[in-house]
Amino acid sequence: MKETRKYVGLDGHKDTIISNLSENNDGYGRLRYENGSGATDPYVIDWSGGNVWKAENNSQVIRARYKGSAFTLLSITSRSDYKTQITNDADFGPFDFHDQNFLFDNTTWSQEIRFSSPDEGKPFSWVGGVFASRDKTTADSETLDYYYDRKTRIESDSIAVFGQGSYSLWNRLHLTAGVRYEHQESEATQINTFASIPGFDIFDADIACRKLALKKDTPEGVYLIEVASQKRFYTRYTDKKGRKRLALKPKDEVRDVEKSLFSVQYQAFAKSYLCVGEWENPQPAGHGLEITPLTDLSEVRAGDMVEFDVRFNGKPLSYSPTGIEYITACGTGFGLQDGFALFSYVSKGKAKFRVQDPGQWLVNIFHNEAVTPDGPLSGLHNKATSANYGATLTFTAK
């Protein structure tokens, strides 16, 4: 909506007020995958996240003009405020990875005062004045499922003084000279927050990594750093037209099924430990598949033997005639760059290996469990035919 009001006075005044208001609330455009495991029918949208896109614009301009016998005075005062909010499913598909919320607000004030020669057709004309503006921008972004928050603030002030003179020799030849001086000051800050933990500072690092810094008042103890992925389902089936399809759903939620080929639930867990003070052997955290150290990981050196407790659903895992359970281990100086690893059987919930080199080490295990009506995963009987789990533990050797 735009509105303009004008006022013309008898003493040379001419004032104009322009107001412009607009609002958009159409929502975020939906995208879809054309191929791959997340592909959808062209006329079916499969989006698990939010769909908000709001934009508001509010601007006003006041023009005041006075025309005298010796000069003309023009004053232009403006204010503009633009706000937008976007909330969307950041992976643009049926994958329940994360949603993103973005808020943007920009406000600009400006003032210009201009003096100019009267319009009397004389060969010499001039104009001069001053201009000032203030711009303030805030941009807040958060990725909801990753507990990540970014706040950006930008403020800018500028002032300018200008002048120009023009002399007309004849209708097609004019000599013009001018000068302008401008000074601008800007200040910008950005705060990135991943999480808030007493005794620690957590901030951005490379790619998707985060850095953890200890404080002077960090209490002593063995700190567990852990992450667990969401449970994912992958169902392979043949539809009623004979086409093989893959759905990211449990098998009991898939429609148009002629034959179900398999359905798998997958979940992964990762752990690491940070020791402040003396080491104490930690207890299992309760993950579906879990590796827990039985050795002081704060003082591991190349050549030391390290031992681990390995559990599935809280019970010791062990190799048997139905499955060969083992852990693998590789380090930055041994195997990680070249694609090989140490191998150790898991027997009665225990596995161990000897550290070959200093550096960061990754201990890994995968476990597949068939889903049966009376087995440990009986709750998945109608949802999946099997469940795959992965677990890692990382530490640093000196």
34-38, 46-50, 89-93, range with the lowest pLDDT: 46-50
Query: Residue 274: CB partners within 8 Å, gap ≥ 6?
Result: 212, 222, 223, 225
In whole angstroms, what is the distance from residue 361 CA to residue 214 CA? 22
Look at strands 51-67 and 13-24 and give their pairing. Answer: antiparallel
Query: What are 206-229's pLDDT values in tens digits?
Result: 555 666 777 777 888 998 988 898
Please state the rounded mean pLDDT for residues 42-51: 53
What is the pTM assigned to this prediction? 0.54
Q: φ, ψ for residue 232 (rounded to 5)?
A: -115, 145
Walk me through the domains of the chain, giving residue ranges and CATH numbers.
2-193 (2.40.170.20), 220-397 (2.60.40.10)
DSSP state of 373: T
In whole angstroms, what is the distance from residue 369 CA to residue 267 CA? 12
The pLDDT of residue 46: 47
Of the candidates 270, 265, 271, the residue with the CA atom closest to the CA atom of residue 388? 265
Query: What are 269-319's pLDDT values in tens digits?
Result: 999 998 999 999 999 999 999 999 999 999 999 999 999 999 999 999 988
DSSP state of 154: E
